Amino acid sequence: MPHSHRPTLKQVNKPFKSGHATKGAQKRAAKGTPLAHTGKNEAQPARAHKTNPLRAAGNAQGSRSNRRNEAKQISQQKRAALVESTRVFTGSGLRGEQRAGGRGPAKAGAPRICAVVPLTPDTDAWEAVCGLERDGEALGLRAAPGRGPEEAQAKHMAYCELEATRFRQTLQFLPLPHGALLPTLDACRCADFVMLVLSASTSIEPGSWGELCLRTLQAQGLPLAIAAVLTLRSADEQPWAKAKKSAQSKDAQGVRKSLLSFMQYFCPEVQKVHVLDEAASRSVLVRTLVTSAPKRVAWRDFRAWVVGEDAEFVPEADDRGLLKVHGWIRGAPLSANRLVHIPDFGDFAVDRITYAPAGAKRSADVAMDDASSDQPRELRAGDVLEARNDDEADDLVSENEPDPLANEQTWPTEEEMADAPAAAADADELPPAAPGTTPREILKKKAEDDARKRYQAAWIIEEEDEGDADEDEEDGESDTGAEASDDMEEGSLPEEPRADAAAADEEPEEPEEMAADEDDDFDMAALEEYRAQQRREREAMKEEEQAAQFPDEIDTPFEIPARQRFARYRGLESIYTSYWDPYEDLPEDYARLFQFDDFSKTRKRVESDAVLEGVSPGIRACVWIRDVPRAAAERALRVGGHAHADKKQDDVPFVLFGLMRHEHKKSVVNFTVTRNTEYETPVKSKDPLLVCLGFRRYMANPVYSQHVRNVGRRGNSVYKFERFLPHGIGAAVGSVYAPVTFGGANVPVVLLRMRAESKEYGYDDLGISAEQSPHLVGAGSVLDVAPTRIIAKRLVLSGHPYKLHKRTATIRFMFFNADDVRYFRPITLHTKMGRTGHIKESLGTHGYFKAHFDGPLSQMDTVLMSLYKRVYPRWSTLFTHSREGLPLHAMVTAPVDVPAIETPTLQTPTDTRSDEKQNKNTNSDAPQSKPGHHRRRSSSFVVVKHVRETPEQLVDQTVAPNANAEWVNMKGAWVIHVVLIVVAKIIINEVPGISDSVKWTLVNLGYMAVSFIMFHCVQGTPFDQDSGAYDNLTLWEQIDHGYQYTPAKKYLTSLPIGLFLLSTHYSHYNPWLFWLNLSALLIVLFPKLPILHRSRLKFFPRPPGTGTNTPAEPIQFDEK
């Protein structure tokens, strides 16, 4: 057969498929089928046929019946799921036999919880709830006795209830104040519905609190969202009240569509915007609330929660006591053997759970009932549903107590003694590096030994039998180095001055308390702090750009040997396959953590037990919580309106969450996080952030690493450290020390950056504090709980090819002495163009060395060496300030003295004085100042006044386009100016006895005068449709709605300049005419400056009056 060369572009057709399957395909197809015996007495799997499960032996009638059967079963399953999801509201789904020996009430049902969130400052949650009660019996609604909206608002309760008599349901509303972000997140975690109240007149702008709330709720996970607006009609206030009803209806429909489009961007399931001042829309909203099945929130499936409706507190020693919280058990069953979490206060033990039906009186201590009788009976108030069993209950130990003397590394083991001669025989001229530093040899693979013996943390082992899962706390022996604690600091070494300076810059600084001065002196300390913060932000952005352009590259220090500077780093041939012992040189904090023997197995066991043990959901119970601080009790008492009169009300819900087994233990929690695209500030690893981990919040310093998939196929658990949280849609993995959290990817994680980190405090002009308006950094979900995840920080040393010869090159500038070259010789080199190599020998004494690569090297290439060091997160603390900085309008009790506020924005000295003087003049209750305190200085002969529109004028401007300013952008409007100038020049040319220089000057002065009067002198509009809307604005201020640097304004600014140049040229630069033309040009250009937009200059103003009909008192001077 003659030889033919295969062409490179030959078309490859689909290969022919034979009818014979391979043995592997037959085995895969026969999984789970019985074995068939062949004639050779060999057991072979029976051939699997790919048949339709709905076809009964080819019978068409059987196939039809099977399909009907399947459709019927699917319908029944859906109906059963719907009934199960709403069973808790009817009370018919409670378990008959309770663990305490009682029977659940058959007629009781939990209320449907609806959180009401106002998204704009002109909306009110209580007004929205009261709007639903407006029709009363027409909608079948009535206020619950003692808990109606009006009574609840008068008592400053955090909730109110409406009874839907027609549907036999109860609606429990949680009205929230606008500007309270963290309480809003807590309320939405336990709600069945979330009513988002919008405004028809105020839009939610980017960067506002409303947008922050929506994005944070979206990241946390929303239940069924409902959009509502208080009203779409404004006939009593708006200027177009005399318009026709059809026009009003058209405008209302446009507003409704705009609000619906906005809400569907954040909540696509929203199909309608309910108007609360329309009876039909209110009826639809009420029917939706009482008949809809709540949306499933996956991370709440295995958790119980209770919304506190009433509370009792029995004080004990040390300002602590027993707290009894009354409320409905929701979610999963609540067990007395498990702990409960109270936001801002931590985890607590439950003493017992008793039955507390609605309307029952608050009882004192209740003794245990006699459960010897086997006859079921109806539950009575005070019956114990479940009591704590100390033998099976979880304890409050969250951290392991290590033994610092249990150190197995003080004496070598027998294996190390046996391997010592072989290790000595292979020793190089340099001694091996210390454990955890740069290795002397690159180890590709190594058999894992029993590293658990050298790990001092407590292990949580899941047993095989079906009994109780006990916690086996074994005090192992640790192999902690003397300098392991230094690994907690990122890249910090005591012998390097630059690292010390960087560590000093990262120390948190406490905020200085600012007080309002009585005089007009500007606080220079605040200005310097503001400038320093701006410099730090610019440096962080520059550092992030350099890290993206030159990832992990650093310069080798010249003043210190590299083997000392990078003593804790090691080299790896591959970060994905090279062996790394996860229990080597761990810090002391790791000895305080807990680790699971099999986290997946333990999670399945714990989640399955959580839905079986405890008191069933749908029962109104009283949860007895032990050892609760008085501050938590006072917060619980305020919810039911039992706070003292002198206490400041916060009117936010009180919620407690049930924990599953082991969820109080501390470990390393890893979570995926995707950065918020709207947040541009660099986020560095170990920056302090507020981590919202499910229903708990912690102040932590997350460490970010790469999110690599297919981890099971890798040879190790090493992940590259990320210095900054990456931008874009790519996810990273954050690691923190936090309590164990089950639920996996269903548990949301939200990262917030508090404004206190950037020295921002106080309230804004809407009464929203800096504490309740943090920056949304990113969001994600829990990945796993794994202390063995190795986060390796990489440093890249770079060198430059000095001489090249085929595959051999002489490298310089990577090291500066020969000892460093010999120390790092075993580590593999790589280049930016993909070549790999290794060091052959050192050349000279200045750090030059010869390296051999796998291919020819280019002179433009860069030789790199990667070093790795394991980094650890910092210890996290519980966040306890979620109720601080509530909005000012939410504190509606007795008059409260509000201290001087330092706003987040920096004000100039002029603005500060003007605002203080305006406040002093307008505040009638302020104490009278001394005579002459507001007297103007005699040298102030110019006053700058800023023009501001009234709310009525702002509304008028949105009715119709401004006809007075629209003509500037019309076709041919720009040419008219040139035509008028040419016509004026032609007319002046006909005047005899005037020189050409004077003619051009007259044309220039005439145009300047006409344009100045037209654009900067005349105010208002000549059209009736715009009368009143622009009375205080000139034509220049009306053009393009006041925006600067638009094409029209650029043209009108450049035209006088061009005419000035022409008149100067044709006047032959006559000095007198030049200065005359220049003065006219400056007069025209001066009011066009953006800094003077909407400003009025008044020369020699009249002194202000005293404000009274009596003459002012004369100023008295001290005689000295």
Q: What is the pTM of this model?
A: 0.64
Quick one: pLDDT at residue 470?
39
Tell me how crowded residue 983 is: count the other CB atoms within 10 A of its CB: 11
Spatial separation of the C-alpha atoms in residues 476 and 473, rounded to whole Å: 9
Where do we find the tokens 């009803």? 245
| Least confident among 226-230, 572-576, 666-670 | 572-576
Furthest-apart CA atoms within the chain: distance in Å: 133
Quick one: pLDDT at residue 1015?
84
1016 occurs within a structural domain: yes
959 occurs within a structural domain: yes
- Kindly give, in sequence order, each residue whose CB lies less than 8 Å from that of residue 647, ignoring residues fewer than 6 positions away: 634, 638, 893
Tell me how crowded residue 764 is: count the other CB atoms within 10 A of its CB: 17
What is the tens place of the pLDDT at every residue in 104-128? 333 458 899 999 999 999 999 999 9
What is the tens place of the pLDDT at every residue in 153-175? 888 888 999 988 888 888 999 99
Out of 244-258, 360-374, 504-518, 1072-1086, give the one with best mean pLDDT: 1072-1086
3-state secondary structure of 313: strand
Quick one: pLDDT at residue 641?
66
| Least confident among 219-228, 612-621, 1014-1023, 1046-1055 | 1014-1023
Higher pLDDT, 31 or 707: 707
What is the tens place of the pLDDT at every residue in 958-992? 555 676 777 777 777 888 888 888 888 888 888 88
Helices (H), 554-629: 562-565, 599-610
Quick one: pLDDT at residue 109?
80
Residue 212 maps to which CATH number? 3.40.50.300
Q: Are strands 320-331 and 304-307 parallel, antiparallel or unpaired?
A: antiparallel
Six token digits for residue 29: 């197809």
Average pLDDT on 1016-1034 reads 71
Structural contact between residues 571 and 867, judged by C-beta atoms closer than 8 angstroms: yes
Spatial separation of the C-alpha atoms in residues 984 and 1007, rounded to whole Å: 9
* Per-residue exposure over 154-181, b if at least 16 CB sit within 10 Å of its own CB, e if not: ebbbbbbbbbbeebebbbbbbbbbbbbb
3-state secondary structure of 820: helix
Percent of the chain with pLDDT over 70: 68
Spatial separation of the C-alpha atoms in residues 478 and 172, rounded to whole Å: 54
Tell me how crowded residue 301 is: count the other CB atoms within 10 A of its CB: 14
Out of 256-270, 393-407, 517-531, 577-591, give the one with best mean pLDDT: 256-270
Which pLDDT band, with edges at 50, 70 and 90, does 1112 fall under?
very low
Higher pLDDT, 225 or 101: 225
Structural contact between residues 680 and 668, judged by C-beta atoms closer than 8 angstroms: no
Whole-angstrom distance between the N-terminal and C-terminal Cα of the chain? 129
898 has pLDDT over 80: no
1000 occurs within a structural domain: yes
Q: Between 973-989 and 1047-1066, two packed helices, what is the crossing angle to 10 degrees?
A: 20
468 has pLDDT over 80: no
948 occurs within a structural domain: yes
Tell me how crowded residue 685 is: count the other CB atoms within 10 A of its CB: 22
| Least confident among 42-46, 435-439, 838-842 | 435-439
What is the tens place of the pLDDT at every residue in 692-749? 999 999 999 999 999 887 655 566 788 999 998 988 778 899 999 999 999 888 899 9
Average pLDDT on 361-384 reads 56
Quick one: pLDDT at residue 388?
92
Which pLDDT band, with edges at 50, 70 and 90, does 900 fall under?
very low
DSSP state of 732: E
Average pLDDT on 508-520 reads 42
Average pLDDT on 614-639 reads 90
Q: State the DSSP H helix or E strand holding residue 950, giving kind and residue range, or none if neither.
A: none
The rounded radius of gyration (Å) of the Cα atoms in the chain is: 38
Residue 57 burial (10 A CB sphere; 0-12, 13-18, 19+): exposed
Looking at residue 580, its amino acid is W
Which pLDDT band, with edges at 50, 70 and 90, does 419 fall under?
low
Higher pLDDT, 35 or 843: 843
Tell me how crowded residue 373 is: count the other CB atoms within 10 A of its CB: 9
Percent of the chain with pLDDT over 90: 24
Backbone phi, psi, residue 905, to 5°: -85, 145
974 occurs within a structural domain: yes
744-747: list long-range contacts, CB under 8 Å, 24+ apart: 744/603, 744/781, 744/782, 744/784, 745/672, 745/781, 745/782, 745/783, 746/298, 746/299, 746/301, 746/781, 746/782, 747/299, 747/693, 747/694, 747/781, 747/782
Average pLDDT along the chain:
75
Quick one: pLDDT at residue 5?
63
| Least confident among 541-545, 566-570, 658-662 | 541-545
DSSP state of 570: B
Quick one: pLDDT at residue 627?
92
19 has pLDDT over 50: yes
Which pLDDT band, with edges at 50, 70 and 90, does 37 fall under?
very low
Average pLDDT on 1079-1096 reads 83
Average pLDDT on 443-470 reads 44
Which pLDDT band, with edges at 50, 70 and 90, does 348 fall under?
very high
Tell me how crowded residue 93 is: count the other CB atoms within 10 A of its CB: 17
Domain of residue 1011 covers 943-1099
Quick one: pLDDT at residue 364?
44
Higher pLDDT, 476 or 1073: 1073
Torsion sign (Cα): 243, 244, 245, 251: negative
Quick one: pLDDT at residue 954?
59
533 has pLDDT over 80: no
Structural contact between residues 192 and 201, judged by C-beta atoms closer than 8 angstroms: no
410 occurs within a structural domain: no
Quick one: pLDDT at residue 542?
74
588 has pLDDT over 70: yes
Quick one: pLDDT at residue 534?
74
Query: How many structural domains are present in the chain?
Result: 2
918 has pLDDT over 50: no
Final residue in a domain of this structure, among 300, 322, 356: 300
Which pLDDT band, with edges at 50, 70 and 90, does 448 fall under?
very low
Which pLDDT band, with edges at 50, 70 and 90, does 242 fall under?
very low
Average pLDDT on 637-644 reads 70
What is the tens place of the pLDDT at every residue in 64-106? 888 889 899 999 888 888 777 777 887 654 444 343 333 333 3
276 occurs within a structural domain: yes
163 occurs within a structural domain: yes
